Amino acid sequence: FGGKAAPAYTIAQDIIHLILCLSEVIANDPAVAPHLQVVMVENYNVTAASYLIPASDISEQISLASKEASGTGNMKFMLNGALTLGTMDGANVEIAELVGRDNIYIFGEYSETVIDLYAKSAYKSADFYEREAIKPLVDFIVSDAVLAVGNKERLTRLHNELINKDWFMTLLDLEDYIVTKERMLADYEDRDAWLDQVIVNIAKAGFFSSDRTIAQYNEDIWHLN
């Protein structure tokens, strides 16, 4: 994980706190630690990205559809051979169109559905929380193992936020995310097929070059001679 939280953005700070707690819990679990690490890259910037992006096999671009939160990071991962696991949000949509749905791993609701849920105030996170596959995951935030290494106030606040509000509809796409990631990890075991997808992604990344982008902006907007 990487990122920053504004001084007044309490929930973002709580999320980072949870990540750090999970890192400690997993590091202290002898059954899990040899196979998994959770790392929080503090003050993530271009220098850190220059090391992390080329080393990545999977690019998770999981913002809620319609929020346009992906920026250009997904393009950098794509150019360096990482396959995208993401929602149909931001430039993920263009990547999916370029590489084809067989070479990207899309999950979650589409923008139209999300916008409609907001408009009608129809999303109730508590309903999703009660699902068998979701409840244990959310409750783990306030489990004894996590509370033993974390701040109870922060963890309880985040737990309550997910159940009672969940403004960014985290639970809406959670089950589909899990299924899609499991499929992606299974596909990774077939190295030849995986590398075929990598080659397609690298080859199609040229669409995002600054030369083409500037030329299209000029043609569509600026109309400079």
Are 153 and 57 in contact, with CB atoms under 8 Å apart? Answer: no
pLDDT, tens digit, 9 for 90 and up, residues 66-95: 998 767 999 999 999 999 999 999 999 999
| The predicted structure's pLDDT at residue 76 | 96
In which order are the strands placed within the sheet that holds 105-106? 58-61, 83-86, 105-106
User: What's the angle, vertex CA 67, arms to CA 197 and CA 220, rounded to 5?
Assistant: 75
User: Is 2-222 in CATH node 3.40.50.150?
Assistant: no
- Token couple for 6: 């504004």
Average pLDDT over every residue of 131-146: 98
- pTM, whole model, 2 decimals? 0.93
Question: For residue 80, which of 168, 199, 196, 178 has the smallest C-alpha distance?
Answer: 199
Question: Could you tell me which residues are beta bridge partners of residue 105?
Answer: 85
pLDDT, tens digit, 9 for 90 and up, residues 172-208: 999 999 999 999 999 999 999 999 999 999 999 999 9
Q: pLDDT category, 3, cuts 50, 70, 90?
A: confident
Q: In the chain, what are the domain boundaries?
A: 2-222
CA 79 distance to own-chain centroid: 18
Compute CA distances 196 → 95, 187, 188, whole Å.
Answer: 16, 11, 11
Q: How far apart are CA 7 and CA 11, in angstroms?
A: 11
Residue-averaged pLDDT of the chain: 96
